[in-house]
Chains A and B, each alone.
Chain A
Amino acid sequence: MTDAATTDAAPPANGPLTTADGRPLKSALARAERMRRVKAMLLVLPLLLFIGITFLSPIALMLFRSVDNPIVADNMPRTIAALEAWDDHGELPDEAAFAALTADLAEARRNRTIGRLATRLNYETGGLRSTVTRTGRRAQRLKAPFKEALIGLDGDWANPETWATIKRLGKRITGVNYLAAVDRRYDVDGNVVPQPEVRRIYIGNFIQTLWMSVIVTIACLALGFPVAYLLSILPLRYSNVLMILVLLPFWTSLLVRTTSWIVLLQTEGIINDILVWSGIISDDGRIQLIFNAEGTVIAMTHILLPFMILPLYSVMKTIPPIYMRAAASLGASRHYAFRRVYLPNTLPGIGAGCLLVFILAIGYYITPALVGGQDGMMISNFIAYHMQRSLNWGLAAALGAILLFGVLILYWVYSKLVGIERLKLG
């Protein structure tokens, strides 16, 4: 910065301030700020892209799968076109539709896609799988008039409902998976009606999942609160030792902890042995503690308890003991001081712990799958079932989307109440 440079850049007496190289100070500052922002962004960018590609795009794909319905539209293009004009009022479509169906099924059989088509139709109306595969086998040899031929082959083709199902599933974007996920379906006239009683499982299971998560959360709070309080008032050298008892389960593999609960809870297991030995129950009267909802709740409470104790502890640690003494010196009983002074101060910890435990509990899969049996099923188990066994991926995606939506709302509440930045570990 020579003298010449400064005099060159010297501002006119009433003009804006400029930097050494003559640019207005304001814009130079803005530029420097922008550069810093860009630099910060550049540091974050690699991870943001990575998470975007390997995590967010799969989730988006799953959400798309929940409304995507290509199988029928791809495999029955002629039938869908022929059914365009047909609106079902308890009547069968015309001969053209029957001919189109025969041609479509024959082609689907040649392309070996008929199995998937039959399965997709079967999700919607039970029994259609065999109808479609049987018709597909003979479609090549059928002769006009196709209406009589098809109806002669299988009575389902004489049912307008079958045709309504095909027409409805012919739409590429569909809400049927979401309807199925809340135990609803379309009837013949296209109205939304509840599923027949025996097929209503998901609403009940959503309620069961919520209910079990609530119980686990309450149990964690009830067990975690006294322990967190004790840890927060003990001198550091004792509380550090006791903290190990909380942190060790926290760091131990989930499968190890689930295994140990199986060992403990089974009918020939240690808890039953102790009960028999102490004479509380007889040897024939061993209690069924595993493969039901109770066993799942016990194991999940154990697994999630550290997630309650740690945030509670970190909040309680910051409450000065002087508050309670002040309340006592003003004449409050210990009970009253606890209720009116201490408890309100712990609310942030209670909120954080409960939300964390609830969010984790609601999407739990491993423990209910291993300990839960039939009664202890949670919604995650149904998602896994439809992903791996029934292969009804659309329904699995819809159930997943509903669960995801619930968790995201809770996550949002958590970020508002607690703040994501305050999420601490260990």
Chain B
Amino acid sequence: MLKPPAHASPLERIWHYAFIAICAGVFLFLIAPLIVIIPLSFNSLPYFTFTEEMLALERDAFSMRWYEDLWSREIWRQSMVNSLFIAVCSTVLATALGTVAALGLSRPHMPFRAFIMGLLISPMIVPLIITAAGIFFFYARIGLTGTYLGIILAHTALGTPFVVITVTATLIGFDHSMTRAAAMCGADPARVFFKIVMPLILPGVIAGALFAFVTSFDEVVVVLFVASVEQQTIPRQMWAGIREEISPTILAVATLLIVFSVAVMTTIEVLRRRSERLRGVTPA
């Protein structure tokens, strides 16, 4: 694919190589900003740029000091714990609510499907700043500002659309005669769900749960509006770090988060293939 076809005219050849070059440039644009951060986080000096010593690959130019700094600071540890706690709670809630709703939405008898789907997806579409402002007014009225519960509920609402979408996608082409067959064989609805439906939609459920987790883990606008200092999360701490005292510690956090996103991406990809295999959809 990298070579132009043998019969190509010179102009087509030039065009072909230009196309390859453009694509390479775009890939570089996509990935370079993430790659650049990683070596910089090992900088032994508090700079955000490569020092000459670093370019010469001298040993002293690199250090773990920003990671040590990260580890030694109470606020970052607390943010980590908060982020995980909030993300896990809202993921569990969002996955349960979203999966059940997706099962209902995928039934052939569902009335007003498009309209209800539109409502359920809306937290993903409405700009976060508007959601945050609305939730702030709402929580101020019912006294949920500055509470873990408030943030968990808000993040759950933001995460459910992803679960609904991914689970609905795995249910496309779902053969309903299988559940009927199981019921005829005497399985009660709970057994049908756990033995027949669940294994088939599991990849979608896990993918949705991961989306919900990442949404909550990465969310900062709602947290900025309704959280107090007690509920400091990693993104909010990064936000504060970038705005106030930008130090390479941020780069160390960023590197760890990139490693985390590689893990998430790999999981999703493995799940997608497994789902396709299970449902008998051959990859295109």
Interface residues of A (CB under 8 A from B): 33, 36-37, 39-48, 50-51, 54-62, 65, 223-224, 226-227, 230, 233-236, 238, 242, 244-264, 266, 268-270, 273, 302, 305-306, 317, 334, 359, 362-366, 370, 380, 383-384, 387-388, 393, 396-397, 400, 403-404, 407, 411, 415, 420-421, 423-426
Structural contact, B242 and A54, CB atoms closer than 8 A: no
A-B contact pairs, 22 of them (CB 8 A): A36-B109, A44-B101, A51-B120, A54-B153, A55-B135, A223-B29, A226-B19, A233-B1, A244-B265, A248-B258, A248-B261, A253-B235, A253-B257, A253-B261, A262-B242, A302-B29, A302-B30, A370-B242, A383-B130, A383-B133, A387-B133, A426-B207
Structural contact, B214 and A48, CB atoms closer than 8 A: no
> When each residue 1-23 of chain B gets 1 if its CB lies under 8 Å from chain A and 0 otherwise, what string results?
10000000000100000010011
Structural contact, B109 and A33, CB atoms closer than 8 A: yes
For the complex, is B138 an interface residue (Cβ under 8 Å from A)?
yes
**Which 4 pairs of residues, A with B, have the shortest CB-CB distance?**
A363-B127, A43-B104, A58-B134, A47-B101
Structural contact, A254 and B101, CB atoms closer than 8 A: no
- Using A48-B116, A246-B30, A248-B265 as known contacts, say yes or no to A270 and B49 having CB atoms under 8 A apart: yes
User: Which B19-38 residues sit within 8 Å CB-CB of chain A?
Assistant: 19, 22-23, 26-27, 29-31, 33-34, 36-37
Structural contact, A258 and B138, CB atoms closer than 8 A: no
Partner of A238, one of B1, B97, B128, B262: B1
CB-nearest residue of chain A relative to B128?
A365
Structural contact, B168 and A59, CB atoms closer than 8 A: no
A322 and B7 alpha carbons, distance in the complex (Å): 18
Partner of A37, one of B34, B109, B132: B109
Selected interface stretch from B60-68, B72-80, B155-163, B177-185: B155-163
- Using A254-B218, A424-B169 as known contacts, say yes or no to A248 and B242 having CB atoms under 8 A apart: no
Which residues does chain B contribute within 8 Å of A262, judged by CB atoms?
Answer: 48, 242, 246
Distance in Å: Cβ of B117 to nearest Cβ of chain A: 5
For the complex, is B89 an interface residue (Cβ under 8 Å from A)?
no
Distance in Å: Cβ of A199 to nearest Cβ of chain B: 22
CB-nearest residue of chain B relative to A55?
B157
A238 and B105 alpha carbons, distance in the complex (Å): 36
Which residues does chain A contribute within 8 Å of B135, judged by CB atoms?
Answer: 54-55, 58
Distance in Å: Cβ of A336 to nearest Cβ of chain B: 13
A252 and B36 alpha carbons, distance in the complex (Å): 14
A1 and B253 alpha carbons, distance in the complex (Å): 70
For the complex, is B165 an interface residue (Cβ under 8 Å from A)?
yes
Structural contact, B50 and A396, CB atoms closer than 8 A: no
For the complex, is B107 an interface residue (Cβ under 8 Å from A)?
yes
Which residues does chain B contribute within 8 Å of A61, judged by CB atoms?
Answer: 134, 137-138, 141
- Using A259-B37, A420-B114 as known contacts, say yes or no to A55 and B242 having CB atoms under 8 A apart: no
A403 and B125 alpha carbons, distance in the complex (Å): 12
Distance in Å: Cβ of A87 to nearest Cβ of chain B: 35
Structural contact, B242 and A255, CB atoms closer than 8 A: yes
Which residues does chain B contribute within 8 Å of A420, judged by CB atoms?
Answer: 114, 117-118, 121
Q: Tell me the dominant secondary structure on chain B's binding face.
A: helix
A238 and B27 alpha carbons, distance in the complex (Å): 14
Distance in Å: Cβ of A408 to nearest Cβ of chain B: 8
For the complex, is B190 an interface residue (Cβ under 8 Å from A)?
no
Partner of B261, one of A37, A252, A384, A424: A252
A404 and B36 alpha carbons, distance in the complex (Å): 36
A425 and B165 alpha carbons, distance in the complex (Å): 8
Interface residues of B (CB under 8 A from A): 1, 12, 19, 22-23, 26-27, 29-31, 33-34, 36-37, 40, 48-50, 97-98, 100-101, 103-105, 107, 109-111, 114, 116-123, 125-139, 141, 153-154, 156-157, 160, 162, 164-166, 168-169, 207, 211, 214, 217-218, 220-221, 224-225, 235, 238-239, 242-243, 246, 250-251, 253-254, 257-258, 261-262, 264-265, 268-269, 272, 283-284
A253 and B157 alpha carbons, distance in the complex (Å): 19
Structural contact, B130 and A363, CB atoms closer than 8 A: yes
A248 and B158 alpha carbons, distance in the complex (Å): 21
Structural contact, B33 and A302, CB atoms closer than 8 A: yes
CB-nearest residue of chain B relative to A270?
B49
Structural contact, A421 and B117, CB atoms closer than 8 A: yes
Structural contact, A423 and B129, CB atoms closer than 8 A: no
Partner of B49, one of A252, A268, A362, A423: A268
A370 and B244 alpha carbons, distance in the complex (Å): 11
Structural contact, B23 and A263, CB atoms closer than 8 A: no
CB-nearest residue of chain B relative to A235?
B1
Structural contact, A65 and B137, CB atoms closer than 8 A: yes
Partner of B242, one of A45, A258, A270: A258
Structural contact, B29 and A384, CB atoms closer than 8 A: no
- Using A383-B129, A421-B117 as known contacts, say yes or no to A263 and B36 having CB atoms under 8 A apart: yes
Which residues does chain B contribute within 8 Å of A36, judged by CB atoms?
Answer: 107, 109
Structural contact, B36 and A270, CB atoms closer than 8 A: yes
Partner of B36, one of A51, A264, A268, A383: A264
- Using A54-B154, A55-B157, A249-B34 as known contacts, say yes or no to A366 and B220 having CB atoms under 8 A apart: yes
Structural contact, A393 and B119, CB atoms closer than 8 A: no
Distance in Å: Cβ of B254 to nearest Cβ of chain A: 4
- Using A245-B27, A251-B261 as known contacts, say yes or no to A425 and B162 having CB atoms under 8 A apart: yes
Structural contact, B133 and A396, CB atoms closer than 8 A: yes
Which residues does chain B contribute within 8 Å of A364, judged by CB atoms?
Answer: 127
A253 and B215 alpha carbons, distance in the complex (Å): 9
Which residues does chain A contribute within 8 Å of B121, judged by CB atoms?
Answer: 420, 423
Which residues does chain B contribute within 8 Å of A245, judged by CB atoms?
Answer: 27, 30-31
Structural contact, B221 and A227, CB atoms closer than 8 A: no
Distance in Å: Cβ of B160 to nearest Cβ of chain A: 6
Which residues does chain B contribute within 8 Å of A65, judged by CB atoms?
Answer: 137
A45 and B97 alpha carbons, distance in the complex (Å): 9
Structural contact, B129 and A393, CB atoms closer than 8 A: no
CB-nearest residue of chain A relative to B25?
A223
